[in-house]
A and B are shown apart, each in its own frame.
Chain A
């Protein structure tokens, strides 16, 4: 080894000062965003149009803002889904699968005409939440009963869910009048009302209401308190008499239901039919949103809005500069990594000493 004139020692900071925590967080976020911008410039986006493409066109111009808000709706729900599961240290990386199942559930209610017509729309949304929750039940049971890690199981169930989606779209549910694999359009009274601002629909209010509910649940209720205790230390929580299994089950099923509802809102609010193109990359986006929002439900709203802007800008980048959707995934990855690395400076300090010789 090379002999350094100094010895380095990593010291864990005993207290995490609020100001340092905020500082490293903001620094990490800024570094990630700057890195992303540099990457876009390198990939051929002219510097002078960055502000226009990434900010003005997606947050200021009415048309762009409407589109960004429409994209925000499912992102809020997947962010909540990820945050709720992470609160009890359950890694739900199958959000896409639960979202697809939710979309399938909502479409099924419409296609098979379940229930009276007046109740059809609420039934579709209910079905989407139930289907999403059902899709996470298997990894939940495996984790609780057999200690099987949910990491791989939730993810692989997403692949299975996508194949199920394709099976339906290329088979029984295919709209014969369409050359693309998609289901028939849902009826007019099965759609969420448009708000008269671009394609923005009343699903936004549903997402806001759900956020408030989840915030109450996790910040104000006994369940939320139990969940926080389990997230901090499951052994201690169990020793303190907290029903660990039950709390975990409720939170995880809620996570699945939220992802499923995201799928239901996409069907009833913006797509009006089941297609192969919904829900992509939602798992990772949910994780990024939850992490950037520090797992706080109310912070998820602005975070989801910001990420929706990125997705919206992504389609501009795709059309004008030939950058694929991959670039949006890459930017999210860079931001998350930058935030994770920045935490080092909040948690540790480096002591340097002259080597005594």
Chain B
């Protein structure tokens, strides 16, 4: 393995990592407000389909990506109304949302399958990309990747440093207390859930409009679930989610590269690596005491003011 190989491998990591990162940050927002959004796989699918369909129809990538974000947010808003206002059971409603998202993406996008389009291209910063090892990773990515990092930092600031974040976290830890203090629990949860959908939609749009320039059914391939595990690994902290997403992106990006360089390994067994790694990381993260302290105390419970003690 030489420097050039490492450099180009590292350069391809963000493409695999960004969808996971966006979905994880969305999930962190939602779970910090006490709502488990198991439908994130569906948000990704809707985002990927809508971005491809609208780009193909309008010819505008910006519109396409905006449509991806909107599609994810809309699906999440429906989920939010079900679990936050109508107090549906979160896990089952999340699974139903996932099915609705995957199914609707397949149905609405049936005319756009396998149609390639001109996707987002990488920025050109001239010779900066020639810097050995890290040049491609840092200076030759697409604009959305940089935006995703900014969004993650923004999400961290929102949760950890803003007044709004304080209220959001209070809702996730102890909704009754937050309610007494005058925080509108339902509004904060709805906002967080919808943001989760918007970020998931953007992650999906990234999959179709940046990573592959085409939409096919099942292209999400369990990334939503990897993101769910990443959230536990990241202890509900967006900054640690960057680390986690890039770790996974590195594994995912390594596989095609190893094959291209003539490394003979069973394709399908190698394909298991990201999933197996997720389980290992989840186990390691679940065992640590820090995780138990970081988990929002009221995660997954619906709150009714009249039940307050």
Q: Identify the A interface with B (CB < 8 A).
A: 1, 9-12, 39, 43, 91, 93, 138, 142, 146-149, 151-153, 155-157, 159-160, 163-164, 166-167, 170-171, 284, 287, 291, 322-334, 336-337, 340-341, 343-344, 347-348
Chain A residues whose CB sits within 8 angstroms of the CB of B101 once the complex forms: 333
Given A12-B304, A325-B106, verify A156-B279 contact (CB < 8 Å).
yes
Q: Is B105 on the interface with A (CB-CB < 8 A)?
A: yes
Q: Known contacts A337-B82, A341-B82; is A12 also within 8 Å of B307 by CB?
A: yes
Given contacts A146-B287, A159-B221, A166-B268, contact A333 B103 (CB under 8 A): yes
- Residues from chain A with Cβ under 8 Å of B226 in the complex: 156
Q: Classify the interface of chain A: helix, strand, loop or mixed.
A: helix
Taking the complex as formed, is B217 at the interface, i.e. its CB lies under 8 A from any CB of chain A?
yes
A39 to B106, CA, bound (A): 13
List residues of B whose CB falls within 8 A of some A CB: 38, 82, 86-89, 91-93, 95-107, 110, 184, 217, 221-222, 225-226, 228-229, 232, 266-269, 271-272, 275-276, 278-279, 282-283, 286-287, 304-307
**Which 7 A-B residue pairings sit nearest by Cβ, starting from the closest?**
A326-B106, A330-B103, A333-B99, A167-B268, A333-B100, A329-B103, A340-B88
Chain A residues closer than 8 Å to B184, beta-carbon distance: 1
> A284's closest neighbor in chain B, by CB?
B99
Complexed CA–CA distance, A148 and B229 (Å): 10
Query: Nearest A residue to B90 by beta-carbon distance?
Result: A340
- Chain A nearest CB, measured from B241 CB (Å): 15
**Contacts A147-B286, A157-B279, A341-B88 supplied; 16 other A-B pairs, CB < 8 Å:** A1-B184, A149-B282, A151-B38, A152-B282, A155-B225, A156-B275, A156-B279, A159-B272, A163-B271, A163-B275, A167-B267, A329-B102, A330-B104, A330-B106, A340-B82, A344-B87
A335 to chain B, nearest CB (A): 8
- Interface of B (DSSP majority class): helix
Contact call A148/B283, Cβ cutoff below 8 A: yes
Distance between Cα atoms of A260 and B279 in the complex (Å): 22
Return the contact of B87 from the options A148, A284, A347 (Cβ within 8 A).
Answer: A347
Find out whether the CB atom of A163 lies under 8 angstroms from the CB atom of B107.
Answer: no
CB distance from B283 to the nearest CB of A (A): 5
Residue of A nearest to B42 (CB): A333
A327 and B221 within 8 A (CB): no
A155 to chain B, nearest CB (A): 5
> How far does the alpha carbon of A10 sit from the alpha carbon of B185 in the complex, in Å?
14
Quick one: which of B92, B222, B306 contacts A287, CB cutoff 8 A?
B92
- Find the A residue at minimum CB distance from B36: A151
| CA A332 to CA B103, docked complex, whole Å | 9
| B127 CB to nearest chain A CB (Å) | 41
B87–A164 CB distance below 8 A: no
Do B100 and A340 have beta carbons less than 8 Å apart? no
Q: Can you give 10 A-B contacts (C-beta < 8 A)?
A: A149-B232, A152-B278, A156-B278, A167-B267, A170-B267, A326-B107, A329-B99, A329-B106, A330-B103, A334-B96
Min Cβ gap B113→A in Å is 8
Residues of B within 8 A of A330 (CB): 99-100, 102-104, 106-107
Q: How far is the CB of B95 from chain A (nearest CB, A)?
A: 6
Report the minimum CB–CB distance from B81 to chain A (whole Å).
8
Residue of A nearest to B92 (CB): A340
A160: which B residues are within 8 A, CB to CB?
Answer: 272, 275-276
